[in-house]
Amino acid sequence: MRDLIIIGSGPAGLTAAITAAEHGLDILVIDEYLKPGGRLLGQLYEEPGGNWWNGIEESRKLSERAGALGLDIRLGVSVHNIEQENGSWLVYTDRETFEAKSLLLATGAAEAPVAIPGWTLPGVMSVGAAQVMTNVHRVKPGQKGVIIGVNVLSSAIAMELHIAGIEVAAIALPKNNRVNGSAAIPTEVMNALLHVSHMAPSAFVKMGSKLMKNEFMKKMGITFYPKNGVRMWDIPVMLRKAVIRIEGTDQVEGVTLATVTADGKVISGTEEVIGCDFVCIAGGLYPLAELAALTGCPFYHIDELGGSVPLHSEDMRTPLDGLYVAGNITGIEGAKVAMSQGKTAALSIAKDLGKDIAEASLSEAIRQISSTRSDAHIQFHQDVEVGRRKLQEYWEQHATGKRNILV
């Protein structure tokens, strides 16, 4: 029987596989996609100091290291169920059933849709799908697009589309309804964006982040925010306009925009139509934890981590024997944090399987997760550290509870 199955060959899964192989574990890596690298494959952005983070290059480096170690990586394989039986883990896929002593879930994140009339028309896609088409398959999603949803992910992908020579006519808010929630409220979106203002080469937004420390200034900021948006990489970012409808008969032909009040109400008479042939919807990312949910692992919903996450410790163990997690399944963060979590998970697994892992190297790996987090260029949620502390408290409560039961 294998020592370890890793589900997901993104930054967390591949880093874990490499670390575990270096410690002599027998591993199988499974991924649903056709190429290894996960969401790394789409990423391309400039870091402070002028270095570019090229995700394709990073995933190539990881794949080469994995190749040199002779790792068994099965691509295009979907896992539909997992079960623990007689102390080992069974992984049911659309090909065959695999078995191992331990299981690492590194399944990443999924994208949430936004609800706008017309969102089911052909030509509407998630912003991540446009990223994969452009950066991985090198196919233009269309000639001219509109992005609905103003957040860290949509801004980063807008820039990537711009670099690829695809026109983005606007990034605008979704209309206000029960599904779109705070992502449709200009003041809320402005607050969320202020902490990433360093990404925007716009004097207005940079100035904004310094001035808008109090509620009054924020209110003034959104009130006076230019109705036609602030240009970022030549793309108008519209915080005071919402897409109220996606237009088209058989496919996307355009969107109808309207000016909204600071709290997201449509001002009637302000409607205008912009022509476009594709629309990206960006409802944000949430941890893709469905497999963990099948195991009976406790879950906690933590907004700062992007949704419901399986209970785990800082060394990436879950309360279930032999089950570990790493990467965005534990909360939405960047690829570098995912890699450091993958390394930590692999060390914990090797240790639990009886390999000689020094306590110091495990605690150093845990420390590196925190330092990578503090140095991160992009933070998907400004209070991610608060979210991590909440989860740690839940873990401690759980551990204490268990001890009480045993006594």
Partner 1 sequence: MTDRDMIVCRCEEVSYGELVDTAGQFACNSRELKLRTRAGMGYCGGRTCRSSVDAIALAAAERDNTQITLKYQPPVRPVHFGDLGAISND
Mask of contacts with partner 1, 159-178, x by CB under 8 A?
A: ----------------x-xx
Per CB under 8 A, does 94 bind partner 1? yes
Between CA 78 and CA 58 the distance in angstroms is 24
Give yes or no for residue 331 binding partner 1 (CB under 8 A): no
Number of residues that this document lists for the chain: 407
Interaction between residue 211 and partner 1 (CB under 8 A): no
Considering the complex, what minimum distance in angstroms separates the CB of residue 282 from partner 1?
13
Closest distance of CB 401 from partner 1, Å: 13
188 part of the interface to partner 1, by CB under 8 A:
no
245 near partner 1, judged by CB under 8 A: yes
Single out the residue of 35, 53, 117, 230 in contact with partner 1 (rule: CB under 8 A): 117
CB 56 within 8 A of CB 11: no
Q: Choose between 195 and 390: whose C-beta lies nearer to partner 1.
A: 390
Shortest Cβ 261–partner 1 spacing (Å) = 18
Residue in the structure block whose two tokens are 């205008």: 272
Least distance CB 347 / partner 1 (angstroms): 28
User: Does residue 149 interact with partner 1 by CB under 8 A?
Assistant: no
| Contact string (CB under 8 A) for partner 1, positions 287-306, x = contact | ---xx-xx---xxxxx----
Q: How far is the CB of 293 from partner 1 (least distance, A)?
A: 4
Helices 359-375 and 384-406 cross at an angle (nearest 10°) of 150
Q: CB–CB of 342/38 below 8 Å? A: no
Shortest Å, Cβ 316 to partner 1: 20
Give which of 113, 144, 142 is closest to 128, Cα–Cα: 113
Q: How far is the CB of 362 from partner 1 (least distance, A)?
A: 29
Smallest separation (angstroms) from partner 1 to the CB of 178: 5
| 101 touches 4 (CB < 8 A) | yes
Q: How many residues bind partner 1 (CB under 8 A)?
A: 37
Instruction: Give the span between the Cα atoms of 143 and 147, in whole angstroms.
Output: 13
Quote the DSSP letter at residue 181.
Answer: G
**CA distance between the termini of the chain:** 34
- DSSP secondary structure, 184-218, as one string: G-HHHHHHHHHTTGGG---HHHHHHHHHTTSHHHH
Q: Is residue 204 within the footprint of partner 1 (CB under 8 A)?
A: no
Q: Is 179 in the site for partner 1 (CB under 8 A)?
A: yes
115 touches partner 1 by CB under 8 A: yes
174, 283, 342, 387: which one binds partner 1 (CB under 8 A): 283
Helix (H) or strand (E) holding 3: strand 2-7
Which of 162, 181, 209, 253 is close enough to bind partner 1 by CB under 8 A? 181
What is the 3-state secondary structure of 123-164? CEEEHHHHHHHHHHCCCCCCCEEEEECCCHHHHHHHHHHHHC
Comparison of 176 and 372: residue with beta carbon closer to partner 1? 176
Nearest residue (CB) to partner 1, 177 versus 209:
177
Nearest alpha-carbon partner for 335 in 51, 50, 58, 46: 58
Task: Return d(Cα 96, Cα 37) in angstroms, integer.
Answer: 23
Residue 81 near partner 1 by CB under 8 A: yes
Give the nearest distance from C-beta 398 to partner 1 in angstroms.
11
Instruction: Name the region of 284 (left: φ>0; alpha: ψ -120 to 50; beta: rest).
Output: left
Round to whole Å and give the CA distance between 290 and 297: 11
For partner 1, which is the closer residue by CB, 294 or 358? 294
Give the binding site for partner 1 (CB under 8 A): 32, 78-81, 92, 94-96, 110, 112-113, 115-120, 175, 177-181, 245, 283, 286, 290-291, 293-294, 298-302, 308
